[in-house]
Amino acid sequence: MKSLSIFLVGLTLFSSVHAFSLEQRIGNVDTKLKVYGFVQLEARGGKGSIDDAQDSNAKFSAQRVRLGMNYSADIVRGKLFVDFNQDSTVNAVNGDVGLPKHIKDAFIALRFNKAFVPKLGLIKMPHGMSFTMPGWNLDIVERGLDKKLALERNMGLMISGRDMFLGNNAKVSGFEMGHERAYKGFGYDLMIANQVGRSGAVSNVKPGDANAYAARLMFDYTELFHSEISYGISESAGGIDGHEREDGSIIVGDTKDYKSLNFGIDSNLERLNAKFEYFDSKNIKGEKGWDESTLALTSTYYISDTFELAGKHIQASALKSGIASDLGNTYFGFNYYMSTFDNKMDRNSKRKRNAHRISINYILATGDTNDKWNGLGGYINDAVVLQAQFKF
């Protein structure tokens, strides 16, 4: 791990604002190695979230510190993505999927054609529209509380296809995990994997005990309209018989399967970008009757090449042990772009602007904020976050 870090950091010293690439022709095969990364540094005020409460007036931290490599050779694709802000140990009881948490992506893919790309390894499961967007390309400083309902990254086998039937001839690289490019037509993902040990919706699981499954269907009509629907299941989401809980007690009997439906729409209307996303999830952490649903609305509005307004509202409802509760988290803020490569309004140009930016969000908590919220995560007190990001 240390030698890999030194190698990656050394390569970045020679990079500009763009990813660093090495290209070589071996025999009749063109190969390419692309090295990239990003850092998100933060200052937080307020009492923080359920998962990250703070008592001080301000907290300084990093949300993501990542370096990655993509490799291509003929039909072969390979990806390794590392986060230096994550634990490098493997926890065999809680959160393990087969690789330590600081490994974010590690897979091999075969790009036979744009309609058939099998991938094997650690991959984002195809469940949750905002979750499968890159962490550096978000509209606000974080994904929000509904991210805990996604199936997260997992070790498994996924088969994908993009830009099908209507044939807009979009570039399909074989590295896709979400809706990276706009096209006209359909896309799909099918995946079988270990239990979703990194998801906030499961606990006490380890590879080999059971499996998780996810399927997603997408439809795009240029940048004006993207839609997707996905459904995922993680078997025995609280562990199987004989597992020890964190408090030392033993689980008796198999727990229920976690089941989650996700639906999302993303529309880019030049200056205005709008997103809608819905989760409906059952049997959280394998507990029958612990259910949660969320509805998220996100929007940005382009003011100038360097300034953009951004907001998001997540409304969540949970039912646990017959007790209902509701929580709302509303993000108000703006993005200031430090390096504007152009003033085009298409999705790809927005990704370029997002490379170097400063974001300030105020998070307003509403609903059952006085420790009555019994869902997953979220802010139960108001907070403010300043985030600085650079990406190459």
Domains observed in the chain: 2-391 (2.40.160.10)
CA distance 160 to 214: 12
pLDDT recorded at residue 54: 66
pLDDT recorded at residue 16: 44
The tens place of each residue's pLDDT in the chain, 392 residues long, gives 554 454 444 444 444 446 778 888 888 989 999 999 999 999 999 876 667 666 767 889 999 999 999 999 999 999 999 999 988 765 544 457 889 999 999 999 999 999 999 999 999 999 999 999 999 999 999 999 999 999 999 999 999 999 998 877 788 999 999 998 889 999 999 999 999 999 999 988 888 889 999 999 999 999 999 999 999 999 999 888 655 555 666 656 668 999 999 999 999 988 999 999 999 999 999 999 999 999 999 999 999 989 999 999 999 999 999 999 999 999 999 999 998 777 777 777 788 888 899 999 999 999 998 889 999 999 999 999 999 999 99
284: three-class secondary structure by DSSP: helix
**Number of neighbouring beta carbons within 10 Å of residue 69:** 20
Rounded to an integer, what is the distance from CA 272 to the centroid of its chain?
Answer: 22
Q: Are 90 and 99 in contact (CB under 8 A)?
A: yes
H or E segment and range at residue 350: helix 347-353
pLDDT recorded at residue 95: 58
Which stretches of the chain are assigned E, i.e. beta strand?
A: 20-26, 29-46, 58-73, 76-83, 103-110, 117-124, 153-164, 184-194, 211-221, 225-234, 258-269, 272-282, 291-302, 307-320, 323-337, 357-367, 383-391
pLDDT recorded at residue 339: 82
Torsion of CA 265, 40, 193, 230, to 10 degrees: -10
Phi and psi at 348, nearest 5°, equal -65, -40
Rounded to an integer, what is the distance from CA 385 to the centroid of its chain?
Answer: 19
Q: Pairing relation of β-strands 76-83 and 211-221?
A: unpaired
